[in-house]
Amino acid sequence: MTRPLRLEYPGALYHVTARGNRRHPIYLDDADRRAWFGALRDACARSNCVVHAYCQMNNHFHLLIETIDGNLSAAMRQLNGNFSRGFNRRHDTVGHLFQGRYHAVLVQKEAYL
């Protein structure tokens, strides 16, 4: 069974989460947290997204992100891919850092915020 397509359009606002594989930490130190910010900055610059809020937890993150051009999938592919490659290089590991693909909820009502 194929995955459902994501609803993407210009100006959409999403609550995005991504969790570590097997619920393991995705940040082992402050350098990992800074590296994630760098990957987020690069992904947003390349995909023309705006981050309105974020939260870094030990084994996952939350983003409130607006896609100016309606391209959330491209932004998240770059963020998670670049951060994972850097994490594996820094910590001399291999394999998946994240558990499956990210989870995104389209924020349609102000009450959700």
Structure-model confidence comparison of residues 95 and 4, the more confident one? 95
Query: What residues contact residue 41 under an 8 Å CB cut-off, 6+ apart?
Result: none
Q: Find the angle CA(101)-CA(40)-CA(2) to the nearest 5 degrees.
A: 15
Rounded to an integer, the average pLDDT of 45-61 is 97
* pLDDT classification of 103: cutoffs 50, 70, 90: very high
In terms of CATH, what superfamily is 12-112?
Answer: Transposase IS200-like (3.30.70.1290)
Mean pLDDT of the chain: 94
pLDDT value, residue 113: 67
Percentage of the chain lying above the pLDDT 90 cut: 86
* pLDDT classification of 1: cutoffs 50, 70, 90: low
